[in-house]
Amino acid sequence: MNHTASPPKGNPPLPPLQQIPNTIASVSDYEAYARDRLSPQAWAYFNGGSADEHTLQNNSKAYHRLQLRSRVLADLDGAHTQLELLGHTLAHPFLLAPVAYQKLAHPDGELATALGAAAVGAPLVVSTQASVSLETLAQSRHAPLWFQLYIQADREFTLQLMRRAEDYGYSALVVTVDAPVNGVRNQEQRAGFVLPDSVCAVNLTGMQPSTKKPTQAGTSPLFGSGLLHAAPTWKDLEWLISLSRVPVLVKGLLTAEDALKARDAGAAGIIVSNHGGRTLDTLPATIDALPAIAKALNGELPILLDGGIRRGTDAFKALALGANALLIGRPYVYGLAAAGAPGVAHVLQILRSELEVCMALTGCPTLADISPAALLTTPYRG
């Protein structure tokens, strides 16, 4: 798929599917159905990445370079995908990544996503910029919930937001650290993306606006704008972790050095992520960044990974290289846009089924049996 293609034009978006057709056999099949049901602007927002979108595309392509080693006649009696993560027993290693403004994709937004996630036992990481309030989602009592947090310029509001999530039963906090400013999102620019009046970041209502310094003549349009004067630092992360009543994971790490600093700051886990290719173009694919981070942490913290997973074999490869669990982003949003909650559940079910097939055919009855030995280290020559 060409991610830099012009957004669809002309026909109004179609309504969500009432029944999932047999032609949807893989998670990628949902893309075309989602595109037909999103406005050109919403499609550019969800589908696009930063600049020329090399990182966005490489997130998926990098998996294709990795080959599997099949193993036969393994004892698969009692095989399962169960795991323990931060004190919780999960049926499988797939979680739903934080994605903002989901009412752009479906009228029920994050409520539909939570319902779909609950149907297959997947935790949902709720975005700071969700279009449904964290309280409303918690009261729906659907999926297990984590809360994703950007450290805001208004630090007191940031603390209040964390407390709201804790008070409503969110069992972990995911602090995203790789986007102090938005990336250069040309696809959104070309589509003229703006939020409609009916969609907003409801969790941020009441926050004090950031005070910006005036731009000085001859200075950088970013560095001279004052936008970075309140950008979070490691000290802010340490402050937040010290006050949190739930485990804190740090999302947006691509180097061993930063993973170790997150560990030292008190993180309960890390998420290897390049923000879905939406911040800085030509960053490495997350699967390529994973091995060095896994080696540095050496099992001290759980490692989650997002970016580019479109098949169960992709998930298997990430687990083999050191991830403990996976976050899925765009695929479930496409499922949401196409078919609401059933689409979200179907995407997760496809990935889990494909992972189980891969485990069976590589002789790995449990997630603990998946290791680098399941991958070829040199090209296969027959």
Arithmetic mean of pLDDT, 66-92: 96
Give me 103's structure tokens.
Answer: 């009412």
Domain annotation for the chain: domains and CATH numbers:
27-205+227-374 (3.20.20.70)
Confidence class of residue 96 from pLDDT cuts 50, 70 and 90? very high
Those residues whose C-beta lies under 8 Å from the C-beta of residue 190, and which sit 6 or more positions away, are 6, 7, 44
Q: Is the dihedral of CA 273, 142, 243, 226 positive or negative?
A: positive
pLDDT at 179: 87
Catalytic choice (106, 142, 275, 346): 275
The rounded distance, in Å, linking the Cα atoms of 314 and 316 is 5
For all residues of the chain together, what is the average pLDDT?
A: 92
Residue-level pLDDT at 382: 45
pLDDT single digits (tens) 198-235: 999 999 998 877 655 544 544 556 665 556 777 899 99
Give the DSSP H or E segment for 124: strand 124-126
Instruction: Name the band, by pLDDT with cuts 50, 70 and 90, for residue 380.
Output: low
Looking at residue 213, its pLDDT comes to: 52
pLDDT of residue 241: 98
Q: Residue 3: its pLDDT value, please?
A: 44
The C-alpha atoms of residue 313 and residue 291 are separated, in whole angstroms, by 17
Active site residue 346: no
For the segment 91-120, the average pLDDT, to the nearest whole number, is 97
> Exposure string (b/e) for 70-83, b if CB count within 10 Å is 16 or more?
eeeeeeeeeeebeb
pLDDT digits (tens, 9 = 90+) for 296-318: 999 999 999 999 999 999 999 99
What are the backbone angles phi and psi of residue 115, rounded to the nearest 5°?
Answer: -65, -45
The yes-or-no verdict on residue 236 having pLDDT over 70 is yes
pTM value is 0.92
Tokens of 193: 């993306």
pLDDT at site 226: 58
Q: Give yes or no for a contact between 116 and 345, defined as CB atoms under 8 angstroms apart.
A: yes
Model confidence at 79, pLDDT cuts 50, 70, 90, reads very high
Question: Distance between CA 88 and CA 101 in Å, rounded?
Answer: 28
Q: What is the pLDDT of residues 35-73, one digit of tens each?
A: 999 999 999 999 999 999 999 999 999 999 999 999 999
pLDDT digits (tens, 9 = 90+) for 131-164: 999 999 999 877 789 999 999 999 999 999 999 9
Q: Which residues of 111-130 are buried (b: 16+ CB within 10 A; e: fewer)?
A: bbbbbbbbbbebbbbbbbbb
Residue found by looking up tokens 């999302």 in the block: 251
What is the C-alpha to C-alpha distance for residues 74 and 310, in angstroms, rounded to an integer? 26
Q: Is the pLDDT of residue 345 over 60?
A: yes
Q: Which residue has the higher pLDDT, 220 or 29?
A: 29
> Structure tokens of 198?
């009916």
What DSSP state is assigned to residue 246? Answer: S
Predicted pLDDT of residue 208? 77
Cα gap 363→202, rounded to integer Å: 47
Q: How do strand 83-85 and strand 88-90 relate by DSSP bridges?
A: antiparallel
Nearest to 172 by CA among 99, 252, 77, 270: 270
Mean pLDDT (whole number) for 175-180: 92
Encode pLDDT of 249-263 as tens digits. Answer: 999 999 999 999 999
Residues, the chain, total?
A: 382
Where does the chain have alpha helices with state H?
Answer: 30-35, 40-47, 54-64, 110-119, 134-140, 155-167, 186-191, 234-243, 256-265, 286-297, 312-320, 330-361
